[in-house]
Amino acid sequence: MRKSKSDWAGYLYIMPWLLGLLLFTIGPMLFSLLLAFSKWDIITGVQSIEWVGLDNFKAIFHDELFYQSLKVTFIFALISVPLYQIVSLLIAVLLNMRSRGMNVFRLIYFMPSVIPAVAVSMMWVMIFNPEYGILNKALGWFGIQGPAWLQDPSYALGALIVMGIWGVGNTIIIYLSGLQSVPEDMHEAAELDGAGRIRRFFSITLPMISPTVFFNLIMGIIGGFQYFTQAFVMTNGGPLNSTLFYNLYLYNKAFQDYEMGYASALSWILFVIILVFTLIVIRSSSMWVYYQGDDDKD
Amino acid sequence: MKKNWKWSTMLSMVIIAALALSACGGKSGDSGNEAAGEKVNLTFTVWGDVNASANEQKLADEFNKAHPDIQVKFEPIPSEGYGTKLTTSLAAGQAPDVFLIGEGDYFKYVEKGVVEPLDDYLSKDSDFSLDIFQKDLIDNMNINGKQYYLPKDFNPLALWYNKRMFDEAGLEYPSNDWTWDQLIETSKKLTKKEGNKYTEFGFNAGKWEYPIYTYLWDHGTDIANEDGTQAEGFMNGEKTVAAIEKYVALSQGEDRVSPTPQDAETLGGDSSMFMTDKLAMMVTGRWVKTDLDKSDVEYGSALIPTGEDGTRTSIIASAGWAINANGKHKQEAYELLKWLSGTEAQKLRSENGKVLPATVTELEEVKANEVADKPVIEMMDYAKKPVTLRSTHGPIFVEEFTKAMEKILLKQQDVKGALDEAAKNVDSKIK
């Protein structure tokens, strides 16, 4: 097919975006791919980049901290992804009810999501403080001696997971919009047939919002594997590497140890891991995601 | 999508930008400088906020007045991002001409080859002599026989005590002939319990390595051999294990006199505890005064105690000015370096007692007038070099030792086991 002039106009229109993509995403990605096979301490400038082939990857697979960070990240993702999805869906269902002042509740649940992660983290450091924190104070009222949440290696990761529930506002909003697109008449018809609330939720609501679940799940997986800010601010990987998330380890390698090549190799491994999990979800989606107007397929 | 690519994106942006800038900017810049009457532009940086570095701005202004052909710009970087910012700007070839390095990193930057040795400049310059500076400081800034840094300021470690807590307990203030055992005995009297909860502590035996080094030295041992090439037999040596066991016991068990590192962290750190009368004594650098003076705590300083055999040691923390080895105008940068570390600069910075002057004459003056700081200044005479100031391998020792201490203090491993493992790791990493 011959390209017409109007094609070029189209490219011209997307030029700013295209340039941005090439310069700030594709370019750096290719550069980091190159670095993954090189040794570079960053301080001495680009001329000192040294090609080392697969050395970085070989070293990574013998690196204890790599496995530790992988373990932390997997535990976090495995628990937090389903947990956050269920919690936010539940809250979204509640927020979808018709009652007075619902907008206020929606605001309340969404609000934490607009606060910068660093500020949120600082606040939670105070909440988790074993001496003065309100969490242990509250536990104290029930006679429970709360642990040193962030200073105890057996609690720190759990504390971060619990804290994350507080920030699921974005997911809630997306679920809420999904819920609102579920046709009312379906519910009414089912109700006439004698279906209860729970039955209706599982047989109507859930299938109808399955594309939303699908989207949130993928975003959740990506976000879970790339967890960084809170751990960086609150625990910096400690105590005893119990919150050494993959991305945090990557950052430390790059900007504390100045091993750019090693860090780039780490980032590509993470990329592959996330890609695999995302693909699994996408492949499995044909079994559980239902698109309206897709009926003739079954 | 966000975080993973953010770092690499930022980094590569910097690099690409640098490549682009150096490629197209290089030529015009060079020709511009050769033109007669053009001013040479220099930048220099320190960590900290603008308010805290008002003196540096003043020095820059005065330098500009005194050197009509050089234009100096002062660009401080916030403390938290200092290392990262400096490193990326060095990588991009956009680093300041003169920058400040802390004593823990002296070796690292020299090893990377980004710091210009000063010996040639100094030997050609008959008006300026290193003799004006404290010898210990100059020694610390001399790496492998070459002078790489000139001092900005310095902070010796000393023992700081909370007068109110001593008065309340009816105890004498720490005396200068104390041994560590006497300090611990006194700490026991200052440690208070309500029910089974400790409310006040006598001493802080934390995980920061500098006070631990002095404690080890005073007990006749160290985590590394003299030239910092071996850990086996030092980090896990008999004396070290015994000393660390004693040290750790200070924050554990029935007779504890110190908060655990966890306690200290949750209570806001040693200086916060000290200011709120929850901690009676701590070993730390003189910089702590800035915080202490903001509160109404009544404090004094004393010599760090000695070991059984009378050994007394300290560490001098310092900040040194360095010239960017890849800078375009190194001779001018040298002039600036002298200006920033010389007598006038030292006088200006020490005017209100905020920092101690790094020059001999000025320090003598301070010594003559100062009472509160006398022990701090005296601690300089006992200064020893921590492993980071003796060897390029310093960071490896520190990393493994810190890791071992963390395990020990969190009771995940016994002292001997953790230190054995750490020593093995260090030695295998060095080879």
Please state the domain count of chain A: 1
User: Which residues from chain A sit within 8 angstroms of residue B4, using beta carbons?
Assistant: 226, 247, 267, 270-271, 274
Residue B391, domain extent:
157-316+385-430
Residue B24 lies in a domain: no
Residue A13 lies in a domain: no
* Nearest by Cα to B359 from B150, B156, B158: B150
More confident residue, A145 or B52: A145
Please tell me the predicted confidence (pLDDT) of residue B35. 45
Which CATH number characterizes residue A103's domain? 1.10.3720.10
Residue A8 lies in a domain: no
User: Which residues from chain A sit within 8 angstroms of residue B83, using beta carbons?
Assistant: 255-256
Residue B112 lies in a domain: yes
B406·A240 Cβ contact <8 A: yes
Residue B134 lies in a domain: yes
B284: helix, strand or coil: strand
Q: In this structure, how many other beta carbons lie within 10 angstroms of the beta carbon of residue B373?
A: 18
Backbone angles phi, psi at A79, to 5 degrees: -85, -45
Please tell me the predicted confidence (pLDDT) of residue B148. 96
Average pLDDT over residues B388-396: 91
Share of chain B above pLDDT 90, in %: 66
Residue A38 lies in a domain: no
This complex has an ipTM of: 0.72
Please provide the size of chain B in residues: 431
Cα separation, B343 vs B161, in Å, equals 32
Q: Are A188 and A158 in contact (CB under 8 A)?
A: no
- Does pLDDT of B239 surpass 90? yes
Same domain for B253 and B229:
yes
Q: Are B286 and B376 in contact (CB under 8 A)?
A: yes
Cα separation, B260 vs B409, in Å, equals 8
Average per-residue pLDDT for chain B: 88
- The residue type found at B319 is A
Same domain for B307 and B422:
yes
Q: Is B393 on the interface with A (CB under 8 A)?
A: no
Nearest to B410 among A31, A46, A153 (CB): A153
Same domain for B305 and B174:
yes
- Does pLDDT of B430 surpass 60? yes
Residue A67 lies in a domain: yes
- Does pLDDT of B343 surpass 60? yes
Please tell me the predicted confidence (pLDDT) of residue B80. 82
Q: Are B162 and B204 in contact (CB under 8 A)?
A: no
Cα separation, A134 vs A78, in Å, equals 28
Same domain for B367 and B258:
no
Same domain for B170 and B263:
yes
Residue A102, domain extent:
54-297
Same domain for B308 and B236:
yes
Cα separation, B268 vs B206, in Å, equals 13
Q: Are B377 and B366 in contact (CB under 8 A)?
A: yes
Nearest to A46 among B15, B88, B113 (CB): B15
Cα separation, A240 vs A68, in Å, equals 10
Nearest to B262 among A29, A151, A255 (CB): A151
Residue B9 lies in a domain: no
Residue B20 lies in a domain: no
* Nearest by Cα to A69 from A82, A60, A57, A80: A60
Q: Is B111 on the interface with A (CB under 8 A)?
A: no
More confident residue, A182 or B351: A182
Which CATH number characterizes residue B352's domain? 3.40.190.10
**CB contact burial A179-212 (16+ within 10 A = b; e otherwise):** beebeeeebeeeeeeebeeeebeeebbeebbbbb
- The residue type found at A266 is L
Cα separation, B111 vs B297, in Å, equals 43
Residue B25 pLDDT level (bands cut at 50, 70, 90):
very low
Please tell me the predicted confidence (pLDDT) of residue A292. 74
Same domain for B146 and B57:
yes
Same domain for B368 and B292:
no
A250·B2 Cβ contact <8 A: no
Residue in the structure block whose two tokens are 């770092």: B7
* Nearest by Cα to B278 from B182, B207, B372, B204: B204
Nearest to A44 among B16, B113, B265 (CB): B113
Please tell me the predicted confidence (pLDDT) of residue B3. 46
Same domain for B143 and B162:
no
The rounded Cα A25 to chain-centroid distance in angstroms is 19
B7·A254 Cβ contact <8 A: yes
Residue B278 lies in a domain: yes
B8·A28 Cβ contact <8 A: yes
Average pLDDT over residues B162-189: 94
Q: Is the peptide bond before A239 cis (omega within 30 degrees of 0)?
A: yes
Average pLDDT over residues A42-63: 89
- Does pLDDT of A297 surpass 70? no
Residue B51 lies in a domain: yes
Please state the domain count of chain B: 2
User: Which residues from chain A sit within 8 angstroms of residue B93, using beta carbons?
Assistant: 45
Residue A17 lies in a domain: no
Residue A195 lies in a domain: yes
Backbone angles phi, psi at B336, to 5 degrees: -65, -40
Interface A-B, measured as beta-carbon pairs within 8 A, has a size of 99
- Does pLDDT of B31 surpass 90? no
Average pLDDT over residues B99-112: 92
Tell me which DSSP letter residue B354 carries.
S
Cα separation, B251 vs B253, in Å, equals 7
Residue B31 lies in a domain: no
Task: Give A65-124 pLDDT, tens digit per residue.
Answer: 999 999 999 999 999 999 999 999 999 999 998 888 888 999 999 998 899 989 999 999
Please provide the size of chain A in residues: 298
Same domain for B116 and B63:
yes
Q: Is B23 on the interface with A (CB under 8 A)?
A: no
* Those residues with Cβ within 8 angstroms of residue B376's Cβ, 6 or more apart along the chain or in another chain: B156, B158, B286, B301, B356
**Pairing mode of beta strands B40-45, B98-102:** parallel
Please tell me the predicted confidence (pLDDT) of residue A9. 84
Same domain for B266 and B398:
yes
User: Which residues from chain B sit within 8 angstroms of residue A130, using beta carbons?
Assistant: 262, 266
Same domain for B230 and B81:
no
